[in-house]
Structure formats: C-alpha cells, structure tokens
Amino acid sequence: MTARRFQPGLVLMYLFLLIGAIIVLVPFFMILVNSLKPMREAALFRLTISSNSMLDNYITVLNKSFFLVGMKNSFIITAVAVFLINIFAAMSAFVIQRRAGRFSKFVYFLYFAGLIVPMSIIPTIKIMMQTHIHNTYAGIILVQTAVNIPFSVFLLTGFMKSLPRELDEAAIIEGCSHVRLFTQIIVPLMVTPLVTCTIVNVTGIWNDFNAPFYLISDSSKWPVVIGIYRFVTMYYTNWGLVFAFMMLVIAPVVVFYICLQKYIMSGLTAGSLKG
C-alpha cells in the first residue's frame, strides 16, 4: 500500500468547514441549553449545562393559546404559499424554456429581477389596502408567493433545459395534449427540483419575520415567529421562555429539512450539465 500524500489544500478546506460548523452550531447549542434553565440562569447566556435543567419553559410555552394559534397560521400561510409557488413556477419554467423567443426571455429576466430587487413595504401595504386584502390570509399568502417564486422559476428553468425536446415531440405525435404533457410527463420528471424548491421556500416563509410584521396588524392572524414579542416586555425578558419558544418554532422546519435534505444538492445541480 502506498502512503497517502499530505494535501495542504484538503486540510485547509476541512478546517474552514469545521470553523463554519462551529459558527453555526454554537448559537444553536446556546439556545438549546438556555431554554432548559430558569430565568436567572438563562439571562447569563452561558454555554454550560445547568444542573437544574427543566422542561417548565417548554410546558409554559405550549400552554399559551397564542402559540397554537400562531402555529396554525404559519402552517396555513406556508402550505398554501408553497403550493402556489410550485404550481406557477413549474408552469412558468415549462413555457419559458419550451417557447424560445424574445417575450419568453423578457419574462425570464423579469423573474430574475425578482431575485435582486427587494420588496418595497409601503407600496405593498397601499396596494393591499386598496384591494381589501390587508390583514387577511390571502394577502400575506399572495405576497409570500410573489416574493419567493423567482427562485423556483430560476431553478426549474435550469432543470427544464436538461429535458430533451424530443420527449415533448414524441408525446404530441402520440396524441398527447399540452396540458397532459405537462401534468403527466413533465411534472413527474420535476419531482426532485420541486422538492428542493419546497424545502427552500418552506424554510424561508416559515421563518420570515419582516413581511408578516409589517403586513399583518391583526394579532389573531400572526404567524408563530411574531409571537416572540409576547415574551418581551419593557421591564424584563424571560430568556428561558424566549429560547424555549425559539426551539419549538424551528423544530418543525428542522425535522422537515432532515427528512428531505437528500434532495437539495441533486435538485440544485439538476440541469447544470446541459443547456
């Protein structure tokens, strides 16, 4: 057996990866250990594990009615918005890639501009009030759909380039309509990138704080992330409850991500070798 040669570049890469993992995991660990501490100890923000670790903070948060209402609101907003994003992004990518022309390119660059140009809050609020969708589920769902659809269109269009046009031509020759071609042939082939879009959009919409904070003034329709304000007062903050609340909020997204993480890299690289 030949000895493996020392590779400084590989060691340096692993060192950077280790540092990056520490930067990500240390704050998460701090939130976890302090969520199990009483108010006085949690306020010290130490990384040590307390001998008096307890689940009282989690029980207190779970007993709050606004937590369950917020979870329901977050589920409704996230599920409907992601569903709409996947449908419209898949149809847009199919038409943009298969209809080569100036108009298709123009529409594609409009979507691409959506990745760069930030949303303007005040005009958005004005439009929502004029269309009577302010403080409604429909309003925030439409906003989240509009904000997050450009990434999905960008990703799915790249994937569509890897699907040969001969597939469409063969299906049409056999008498397949365009609707049936899209729903029964193209969409099943898009499963991997669609799952990737779902993971990215679920994470972004579920954890989004700014859009609901500015666009929803009715507390009964607040998603769960805004509920953190319920534990912060002018005179004191129970950081143990805040950290427990944060752990419960991110738990569904973490579980969802772990279950579907194998699709992320394959979905992001789909279509990168052709087109």
Q: For 93-121, give the DSSP string.
A: HHHHHHS-SHHHHHHHHHHHHHHHSPPPH
Residue 267 and residue 193 in contact, taking contact as beta carbons nearer than 8 Å:
yes
Is the CB of residue 58 less than 8 Å from the CB of residue 47?
no
Work out the mean pLDDT of the chain and round it to a whole number: 85
> What tens digit of pLDDT does each residue of 139-173 get?
999 999 999 999 999 889 888 888 888 888 888 88
Q: What percent of the chain has pLDDT over 90?
A: 31
Q: So what's the pLDDT on residue 245?
A: 92
Q: Give the pLDDT score at 275.
A: 42
Percent of the chain whose predicted confidence (pLDDT) is above 70: 92
Residues of the chain with pLDDT under 50: 1, 271-275
- Ordered alpha helix ranges (H), the chain: 8-34, 39-42, 56-62, 65-98, 102-116, 121-130, 137-160, 165-173, 178-180, 187-189, 191-207, 210-215, 239-260, 262-268
Position 46 scores a pLDDT of: 85
Q: Identify the pLDDT of residue 150.
A: 92
- The pLDDT score that the predictor gives to residue 270 is 53
Domains of the chain from N-terminus onward: 56-268 (1.10.3720.10)
Distances (CA, A) of 60 to 153, 225, 249, 269, 271: 42, 17, 14, 44, 48
Structure tokens at 163: 């699907």
In this prediction, residue 159 carries a pLDDT of 86
Rounded distance between C-alpha atoms, residue 257 and residue 203, angstroms: 8
Residue 147: closest CA among 194, 112, 114, 196: 114
Buried b (16+ CB within 10 A) or exposed e, 121-159: eeebbeebeeeebbebeebbbbbbbbbbbbbbbbbbbbb
Q: What is the pLDDT of residue 273?
A: 45
Give the whole-angstrom CA distance, residue 77 versus residue 256. 16
Q: CA torsion 198→201→204→206, rounded to 10°?
A: -70
3-state SS, residue 237: strand
CB 115 within 8 A of CB 150: yes
pLDDT score, position 272: 45
Integer Cα distance of 45 and 40 in angstroms: 10
Q: Which of 93, 194, 199, 224 is nearest to 150 (CA)?
A: 93
